[in-house]
Structure 1
Amino acid sequence: MGEAGAKRDTIAARREARAGDARARRRQEIVDAAVLAIEELGCDAGLGAVADRAGLPRPHVYRHFTGKDDLDQEVASYASRLLSAWIRPSLTARGTPPEVIRGVIGRVLRWAVDHPNLYRFRVRLQPARAVPELTDAAVAYLRAAGYDLRPPDHVVASVIGMVDAGVIWWFDHRDDLDIESLNEWLAAQVWLVLADMLERIGRPLDPYAELAPALDRIS
């Protein structure tokens, strides 16, 4: 290939990269608009509300997504990433296992209070989906306690599902239970599940032992 051909290929590659970046930006702008619509109007916010907030004609939204389900799944995944970023600071705390669990769940609850519609939407679209940071944190804390293991997927799904179900219930019954009591109850139940898991493999964990995570296992 001559110098002129190589130059044309380089220019074409740059144009394609810029076009790809522009498509990615527009796609994210639509996701951001959908998040705003859900936060303001609820989980059933329509495409028109999303398009209005994105500053696009309604048909143009589907130039960037294959359909409503594609957009909804991307919004739910983005909500999970927002939640992950929010809880990350709580994943390096020192404390006993119940204290650490209570702190993480408390952080989840604070995000849920601030974003109730988005939390409902995430749970509806991706029920019991694990938050990677939580699993990594569990591995890090267990490693610090001398356990080289990863909680089985069914245990992780059970814990996440229980917390999500508790939060969704609380949204509809706030007068029946204050959020601090919900935090205490959920933390106690999660601890029971994890303690039972360790008991079953013959490696019980002292609930009064102070733990600090092995930070190299948390990205």
Structure 2
Amino acid sequence: MGGAGRGVNQERDDGRVNRSVTPGDGRARRWAGQRAARRAEVVEAAMAAIAEHGPEATTEQIAGRAGVPRPALYRHFDGLEDLQGAIAEAALGLYSEALAPVWSPRGTPREMLVAAIAAHVRWLAAHTELYRYVLRAAGVTTAVTDIRHRIADRMTGLLTGGYPGLPATVAAPLAAGAVGLVDGATERWLSSTDPLPLDELAEHLARWVWSVLDAALREVAIELDPDVPLTAG
């Protein structure tokens, strides 16, 4: 009889014996699956607690929402930073999903800008407290920066693909500046006591970004029509 942790002999279809299966394998897989599911449940509860209590939501409030004692949170997370990282990962995943107009743009340049900016503003308006929590959370600044870089890289690709005369050395900082403009204006809008209507803000931002793009393209002798679809070069 095999002791604990020893391999279990199993006959394979070809008649030979497979000694690689251990009794603990199934239990380990089940435990890993249960732990992942419980982590996801806690993260979901944490996002609800943050929406209710704001970005200063405490671990006690998160635990209360999850229906567990505070010490039990750390049965599933390796400390506060791991918990914050999991919350940030889930939040940024939702944000990325909402940015479908960025990843799969359609229409004219003007339509693409309005759709992408409106998607960004709407998500932040609907998840303001979660967004602020992510910005404040320790150890997740890189994740926020990464998604901003992805957006800028996507815009750079659209610019260089649609306007071959525009060098990447110009397109990349131009796209990063446009992303920064939208980010900064939206964050200020979220803090305003008398904000513009959301759709009006998106329209303004689209016009401002377009003005910057148009000026930069004209510097390299590219004139464009914002109402004519881009064509790959």
Q: TM-score, normalised by structure 2?
A: 0.72
Matches within 5 A, 1:147-186: 147=164, 152=172, 157-186=176-205
CA positional deviation for 1:110? 1.5
Equivalent of residue 88 in structure 2, options 56, 69, 76? 76
Number of residues paired by the alignment?
211
CA distance in 1, matches of 2:221, 2:85: 39
Q: Normalized per residue, which structure has more helix?
A: 1
**Alpha-carbon distance in structure 1 between the residues aligned to 2:154 and 2:69:** 43
Deviation at 1:98, TM superposition (A): 2.9
Distance change in 2, residues 1:165/1:139 (3 Å) = closer
Larger displacement relative to structure 2 (34-43 or 99-108) = 99-108
Q: Which has the higher contact order (CA 8 A, sep 6+)?
A: 1
Q: How does 1:61-210 map to 2 (within 5 A)?
A: 61-89=73-101, 91-95=104-108, 97-125=109-137, 126=141, 128-131=145-148, 134-135=151-152, 137-138=154-155, 141-142=158-159, 145=162, 147=164, 152=172, 157-195=176-214, 202=220, 204=222, 206-208=224-226, 210=228
> Could you tell me how far apart the structure 2 residues matched to 1:101 and 1:76 are?
26
Letter in 1 for 2:36: A
| Match status 1:3 vs 2:1 | no
Counterparts in 2 of 1:139 and 1:163: CA distance versus 1, 3 Å? closer
Work out the CA distance in 1 between the residues paired with 2:23 and 2:225. Answer: 62
Q: Which has the larger radius of gyration?
A: 2
Distance 1:31 1:110, change over 3 A: same
Of 180-189 and 77-86, deviating more is 180-189
Whole-Å separation in 2 of the counterparts to 1:109 and 1:191: 17
Partners of 1:54 and 1:128 lie apart in 2 by: 29
Q: Which moved more, 1:202-211 or 1:109-118?
A: 202-211
* 1:142-193 alpha-carbon deviations (Å, 9 max, x no partner): 46525496953x5555444432322221122151533233212322343345
Structure 2 distance, partners of 1:2, 1:63, is 30
Per-residue deviation, residues 31-87 of structure 1 (Å, max 9, x unmatched): 111100111110000001111111221011122222222222321222111011122
Give the RMSD, CA atoms, in angstroms: 3.4
The 2-side partners of 1:124 and 1:161 are apart by 18
Task: Note closer, same or farther for the CA distance 1:186–1:31 as it changes in structure 2 (3 Å cut).
Answer: same
TM-score, structure 1 as length reference: 0.76
Q: How big is the shift at 1:132?
A: 7.1
Counterpart of 2:14?
none
Tell me if 1:211 matches 2:229.
Answer: yes
Aligned equivalents of 2:215, 2:83: Cα separation in 1: 39
Percent identity between matched residues is: 30
Unaligned runs of 5+ in 2: 1-6, 11-16
